[in-house]
Amino acid sequence: MPVAPFIFLTGSAAFVTSLAAGAAALMAIGVGTSLFTGRSMVFSALRQLLIGAAAAGITYGVGKVVGVSLG
């Protein structure tokens, strides 16, 4: 759970730990996908990480344009 670090940590330590956990989870999903597709584990892991980062970036961008703020 990439949001779990925010329960135990604060500030940039929680943010960096959350980023690392999210990246690790995405890459693990990519490795799992490679078992079914026959592609390289490295290729699938990096591809999944790139797709996840793009989705996060688009979500951030849409939120920035719409002007939504939490907190």
The total number of structural domains in the chain stands at: 1
Q: Is 66 within the bounds of a domain?
A: no
Q: Is 23 within the bounds of a domain?
A: yes
In 3D, which of 48, 59, 60 has the Cα closest to residue 22?
Answer: 48
What pLDDT sits at residue 33?
95
What pLDDT sits at residue 51?
97
Q: What residues make up the domain containing 27? A: 5-60
Q: Is 70 within the bounds of a domain?
A: no
Question: Stretch 9-27: mean pLDDT, rounded?
Answer: 93
C-alpha span between 33 and 17 (Å, rounded): 24
Question: Stretch 19-43: mean pLDDT, rounded?
Answer: 95
C-alpha span between 34 and 45 (Å, rounded): 8
**Segments of 1-71 assigned E as strands:** none
pLDDT reading at 12 higher than 80: yes
Q: Each residue of 33-70: pLDDT tens digit?
A: 999 999 999 999 999 999 999 999 999 898 888 886 66
What pLDDT sits at residue 27?
96
Q: Is 69 within the bounds of a domain?
A: no
